[in-house]
Structure 1
Amino acid sequence: MKKIITLLAIAGLLTLQSCTTSGSFEIAPVPTTEVFEVTTSFNSNNNFSRFVTLNPPIYSSDVVLTYRLSGSNSQGDVWQLLPETYYFNDGTLDFGYRFDYTNRDVNIYMIGNDLQYVSTNFRLNQVIRIVIVPGNYAKSINKKSYSDVITTLNIKDSQIQKIDL
């Protein structure tokens, strides 16, 4: 039995080596990585949320990562991965940022009890980056680090698309 399987394997290899193709064929497109930047203020007029339409829609296998610019230091900008939560000294929820997405949009919003009283440093002119990650890369990158994500996906600052409303 082993000899027959070996003989069939050799015959298959020889047959495949002699095959040639003529003409052209199409390769399925590789999902592209995109980064969008939006500056927004969270207030009662917009229900403490920002809705961003993705045009064109993303692939259903893509993963959306959302980061908020929380400050800067000697190494550069500091980006916080959402969700992000802040607590009072007694451990109860003060406020936080969350997001949800579909293949057509991303909704970034604040949570908390008295959002109108959250410091304006956390509500006004917030810079948010939305990173669309192809599904095949999503498991192999350090999502907590914006820098690692951008480096792994080889994204340059010039490729970041600013969204103005």
Structure 2
Amino acid sequence: MKRILSFITVFALLLTACEGDPGPPGPPGQNGQNGVNFVGQSFERNINFTSTNNYIVDLEIPLDIELLETDMVLVYRFLGQIDGFDVWKPLPETVYTDNGGEFQYNFEHNYDFVTIYLDAPSTFDFNSLLDEDRLDQIFRIVVLPVDFINSYDININNYDDVSQYVQ
């Protein structure tokens, strides 16, 4: 009996001796993404390309979007809906016209501005563009940390992949 009592005492001491202060809590997961604590940021703009603006539109990145110099800025053009789902195409996007010409929706950005523009060879006649190619174009600008994209191997050409991490 002494042996059993001694054994229980030693066992109880071992269990209580292994306790310590709990460590700091780990980072919370975001949206069930296997512990990923990340949310990209995005905004949309409706743009009209005209000869008055030289088919160039400058957009300021909203102040409520946290932007670091190392962040990646991506731009997608809304093509419409298929079966109730939005379809987005990444820029640059080449468009071939009915009269055999071609132009591109393209963009560039600096720290806090995004410039979206129509680009074409010098022989291209912008006056030949249809209204549906110039007016009421919806663009979504997405800001993502470049380290995140590299570490999670996100296909930035597939908006569905990117949108999983965008707020």
Q: TM-score range by the shorter chain?
A: 0.5 to 0.7
Counterpart in the other structure of 1:97: 105
Q: Aligned partners of 2:115, 2:85: CA distance in 1, in Å?
A: 27
Q: TM-score, normalised by structure 1?
A: 0.67
Structure 1 stretches lacking a partner, 5+ long: 1-19, 21-29, 156-165
Helix, strand or coil at the partner of 2:154:
coil
Q: Deviations over 1:21-42 (max 9, x none)?
A: xxxxxxxxx9862101000111
Matching residue within 67, 77, 80 for 2:76 = 67
Matching residue within 38, 48, 54 for 2:61 = 54
Contact 2:56 2:115 (C-alpha < 8 Å) held by counterparts? yes
Matching residue within 112, 118, 124 for 1:110 = 118
Instruction: Give the Å deviation of 1:116.
Output: 2.2
Aligned CA distance change for structure 1 residues 44 and 31 (closer, same or farther; 3 Å): farther
Mapping of 1:15-26 within 5 angstroms? none
Structure 2 stretches lacking a partner, 5+ long: 1-20, 22-36
Q: Aligned partners of 2:86, 2:104: CA distance in 1, in Å?
A: 20
Mapping of 1:37-48 within 5 angstroms? 37-48=44-55
Q: Aligned partners of 2:78, 2:62: CA distance in 1, in Å?
A: 23
Q: Aligned partners of 1:58, 1:98: CA distance in 2, in Å?
A: 21
Instruction: Give the Å deviation of 1:108.
Output: 0.3
Percent identity between matched residues is 31
Helix, strand or coil at the partner of 1:46:
coil
Aligned AA (1:49)? I
Is 1:119 matched up with 2:126?
no
Instruction: Give the Å deviation of 1:75.
Output: 4.6
Is 1:35 matched up with 2:47?
no
> Larger deviation: 127-136 or 55-64?
55-64
Q: Aligned partners of 2:96, 2:135: CA distance in 1, in Å?
A: 19
Q: Aligned partners of 1:32, 1:61: CA distance in 2, in Å?
A: 16
Contact 1:39 1:126 (C-alpha < 8 Å) held by counterparts? yes
- CA RMSD after TM alignment: 2.4
Matching residue within 122, 128, 144 for 2:157 = 144
> Larger deviation: 60-69 or 80-89?
80-89
Q: Which one has the largest radius of gyration?
A: 2
Contact 1:43 1:116 (C-alpha < 8 Å) held by counterparts? no
Aligned AA (2:69)? S
Instruction: Give the Å deviation of 1:124.
Output: 0.5
Aligned AA (1:42)? F
Mapping of 1:72-83 within 5 angstroms? 72-83=81-92
